[in-house]
Amino acid sequence: MKIFSIVGARPQFIKLAPLSKALTGLHEEFIVHTGQHYDYAMSEKIFMDLGIRKPDIHLGTGPGTQATQTGEMMVKLEAAMLEKKPDIIIVFGDTNSTLAGVMAASKLNIPVIHIEAGLRSYNHSMPEEINRIVADHVSKYLFAPTQTAVDILTKEGLKKNTFLPGDIMVDTMKNNLGIALEKSTIVKDLKLNNEAYNLLTLHRNYNVDDTTILGHILKQLGELGEKIIFPVHPRTRKMLTDSISVSPNIYMTEPVGYLDFIALENSAKRIITDSGGIQKEAYLLKKPCITLRTETEWVETVEEKWNLLVNPKSKNIATKIESFKPPKKQKEVFGKNVTKKMVKIINNIQ
Ligand code: UD1
Ligand code: UDP
């Protein structure tokens, strides 16, 4: 089959890596990069770290409002689909690149596989929530990462299109943790002692787009007093103006590569984040995770008590972080051998 794998944002490259490798030699796969993320650290570095070949098609779409960004991608994706005539499209997660891919393909009657289907935060102020709902309802094949996602899709009447291969980020982590621990020197370079620092990321629109909220979060984390390593997402970097003071216990860096990031996660005492993927990685690495959000799509990590939701607008965030202690055990919730299961399903599609 001729396959278009459509990606555009950092977490999508990370989800693409094991699948694209597994499809090589079996199908004719085109990696289509929308250009949504374009900084070296957000895109090319991740491709290099994960050994993903250069995109076959790069659409060069940059930033924009929700509609201009998605619209521009749709126009370019439609042209690429009309030219190459793929048999099937694969989209990942919930970004504007996902939405554009799903919309362009479904209007050309090209079947779509949605990887990471069935997630809901039930928070409609997140652009991602809108993207997920549309993606699930127009895709032909829904690859759910968890049983919870299957249950949600079933409730929405989509059971017959749903498969449960598990979460592909499990395989990316499994394939790369050993390499990261061997190759990455970041923990040593930053003179970090094992489990003697926290790792922080922030990029959710409602946490970073308002300097009052971002300033409040960073002030609260300053009160933690412990060392915090903070690779800063470009969206957040833009908001860190002089009006926000960052306490000296918080050490900011550029976004780091995937191998460096999982090495930092692996040696951290705990992880503080509003990212989706990082909540899962914290769970896989058995690191206490504090999620600065009022809800999460990854409910299993909270139910298993390895992830604590903390309202980013609340007071005493440092105290909540300090007193959070996960249990010793945890259940496997994200599956295993996920890529293999996905490829098997794809191979059975006629
Ligand atoms: C996007 C996804 C989000 C995902 C995140 C992963 C949507 C709606 N959101 O959010 O679901 O969690 O990616 O990181 O698709 N920018 C740069 N350089 C870059 C990329 C972005 O400077 O390489 C800046 C641009 O000014 C842009 C802003 O960051 O306006 C936001 O980028 P955008 O891709 O729109 O959304 P993200 O916040 O990255
Ligand atoms: N990540 C990375 N470098 C960083 C921060 C994160 O490689 O500096 C990786 C991280 O390991 C995870 C993914 O990026 O696999 C998460 O992406 P992000 O937080 O941007 O998006 P989300 O998962 O929230 O959509």
Considering the domain boundaries, does residue 282 fall inside one?
yes
220 is a domain residue: yes
Tell whether 152 is covered by a domain: yes
Residue 328 covered by a domain: no
Distance from the CA of 278 to the center of ligand 2, in angstroms?
Answer: 6
Residue 221: strand, helix, or coil? helix
CATH of the domain at 196: 3.40.50.2000
The number of the ligand 1 atom at minimal distance from the alpha carbon of 233 is: 14
Q: Are residues 301 and 229 in the same domain?
A: yes
Q: Are 309 and 327 in contact (CB under 8 A)?
A: no
Domain count along the chain = 2
Predicted local confidence at residue 184, as pLDDT: 98
- In angstroms, rounded to a whole number, what is the distance separating the alpha carbons of residues 322 and 303? 19
119 C-alpha vs ligand 1 centroid, how far in Å?
19
Is the CB of residue 17 less than 8 Å from the CB of residue 50? yes
The predicted pLDDT at position 62 comes to 85
> Any idea of the CA torsion for 124, 287, 92, 38, to the nearest 10 degrees?
90
Distance 74 CA to ligand 2 centre (A): 24
Residues 130 and 189 placed together within one structural domain of the fold: no
| Shared-domain flag, residues 155 and 8 | yes
Does one domain contain both 133 and 204? Answer: no
- Label residue 283 exposed, middle or buried (CB < 10 Å: 0-12, 13-18, 19+): buried
Do 210 and 159 share a structural domain? no
Residue 186 included in any domain: yes
State the amino acid at position 86 in one-letter form.
P
Q: Rounded to 5 degrees, what are φ and ψ at 30?
A: -105, 125
Two tokens at 179?
Answer: 């390499």
Residues with CB under 6 A from ligand 2: 10-11, 14, 46, 201, 203, 231, 255-258, 261-262, 275-278, 281
As a dihedral over the C-alpha atoms of residue 177, residue 198, residue 323, residue 236, rounded to 10 degrees, the angle is -110
Q: Is the residue at 130 inside a domain?
A: yes
Helical spans, DSSP H, in the chain? 10-23, 44-49, 66-84, 96-107, 127-138, 147-155, 169-183, 186-189, 205-208, 211-222, 234-237, 258-267, 276-284, 299-303, 317-323, 338-347
**153 and 227: one domain?**
no
Among 249, 283, 268, CA closest to 187: 268
195 & 117 share domain: no
Q: Which residue's CA lies nearest to atom 16 of ligand 1?
A: 234
For 32, the token pair is 């289509």
| Alpha carbon nearest to ligand 1 atom 2, residue | 95
The reply to whether 212 and 111 lie within a common domain is no
Q: How far is CA 108 from the centre of its chain?
A: 28
Residue 214 belongs to what domain range?
174-323
Same domain? 204 vs 129:
no
- Please give the distance of CA 117 from its chain centroid, rounded to a whole number: 13
How far is Cα 268 from Cα 256, in angstroms, rounded to an integer?
15
d(CA 238, CA 87): 40
Residues 20 and 60 in one domain: yes
18 lies in the same domain as 156: yes
In tens digits, what is the pLDDT along the chain, a chain of 350 residues?
999 999 999 999 999 999 999 999 999 999 999 999 999 999 999 999 999 999 999 999 989 999 999 999 999 999 999 999 999 999 999 999 999 999 999 999 999 999 999 999 999 989 999 999 999 999 999 999 999 999 999 999 999 999 999 999 999 999 999 999 999 999 999 999 999 999 999 999 999 999 999 999 999 999 999 999 999 999 999 999 888 999 999 999 999 999 999 999 999 999 999 999 999 999 999 999 999 999 999 999 999 999 999 999 999 999 999 999 999 999 999 999 999 999 999 999 97
Element housing 253 (H / E): strand 250-253
Pocket test for ligand 2, best of 176, 275, 281 (most atoms within 8 A of CB): 275
Q: Is residue 329 part of a domain?
A: no
Both 25 and 137 in one domain: the answer is yes
Atom 13, ligand 2: which residue's CA is nearest? 11
Q: Supply the pLDDT for residue 285.
A: 98
Residue minimizing CA distance to atom 2 of ligand 2: 258
Q: Annotated catalytic sites, by residue?
A: 203
Say what the pLDDT of residue 203 is.
Answer: 98
Q: Report yes or no on 305 lying in a domain.
A: yes
Residue 138: which of 104, 96, 93, 87 has the closest Cα? 104
Per-residue model confidence (pLDDT) at position 8: 98
Express as a percent the part of the chain with pLDDT over 70: 100
Give the burial class of 56: count Cβ atoms within 10 A of its Cβ; 0-12 exposed, 13-18 middle, 19 or more buried: middle
